[in-house]
Every structure is written in structure tokens, then in C-alpha cells.
Amino acid sequence: MGEQGFRVPDVVRIVGISYRQLDYWARTGLVRPSVQDAHGSGTQRLYSFQDLAQLKLIKKMLDSGVGLQQIRKAWGTLRELREPPLGTTLISDGSRIYAVDSPGVVVDLLKQGQGVFAIAVDKVWTDLQGSLAKGSRKRGRGVVSAGGV
């Protein structure tokens, strides 16, 4: 017995896209139904939960102003890096799409997974405070105000 899936009418309702969008995305390979693809007239596509999650992410990116061509390229890179992208946050400035796995790991999905740097300002701040506190305890003195008093 095969895996159960979501039928097209349910998918378009759940994701909030039109039948034409879903059909186009399936025919062009953006998100193909992983449970059962259509094979001619009279057969139906069946989508998995993971397929629905991918479609929902794509819809959110479109709603945020990211172009379909950029989404297609980013999604291809994301597939090459790993699947499913659970634990990843996708961010965009409108022209680039980045995958953020942790505060120090940011990947530019439109540059075939090129790493970009990320610095968590609050972490630098906290580390600096800790270093200064440790240093003053070792020397037995506090912070000196301007003018040396």
C-alpha cells in the first residue's frame, strides 16, 4: 500500500495558490508531487506533507516580493545542500535569498551556496562584557573613568 497524499483541490486550498500555479510549478519541476505524479489524462497528482511545506514556503517568498526566477534558483541550491531544510530560516532583501542555519552560518542561495559572514552583535557584546569582567577580577581593579580618576 502506498503513502497517502494530498489531492490537488486540497493543496490549492491549504497553500493558498491557484490550480494554474500549482500545475505550472509541477510541470516545470519547481515542486513535483512526491507521492504520485500525473501520468496522462485521468490520473491525479498526490502531494506529501513535505511538498505542502515547500509550496507554502514558495508562496510566502512570492508574497514577500521575491521573484519566481530567484525562488527557483534558490530552491535548487537548497535541495543540493540538504533536504528537508528544517531548522533553516530563509531571509531576503528583495534581491538575494539567504539560508540561515545558525547565527554564524549564512548561505547565499543565489550564489550556489556561497557562504557569507554573519556576526551576532549581541554575542560580541556579551563576550566583551565577560572578558572585561574576568580581566578586572584578575587585576583587582574596575574600569577607570575618562581623565584617570
Q: In tens digits, what is the pLDDT along the chain, a chain of 149 residues?
A: 456 889 999 999 999 999 999 999 999 999 889 888 777 777 788 998 888 988 998 898 888 788 899 888 887 777 776 655 667 777 777 777 877 777 667 777 777 655 555 556 676 677 777 777 776 677 665 555 555 54
**DSSP-derived secondary structure for 78-125:** HHHH-SS-TT-EEEE-SS-EEEEEETTEEEEGGGTTEEE----HHHHH
What integer pLDDT is reported at residue 28 of this predicted model? 92
Q: How many other CB atoms are there within 10 angstroms of residue 119's CB atom?
A: 8
Question: Hunting for cell 485521468 — which residue is that?
Answer: 42
For the segment(s) 1-63, the CATH number from 3.40.50.2020, 1.10.1660.10, 3.20.20.70, 1.10.3720.10 is 1.10.1660.10
Domain boundaries, the chain: 1-63, 65-138
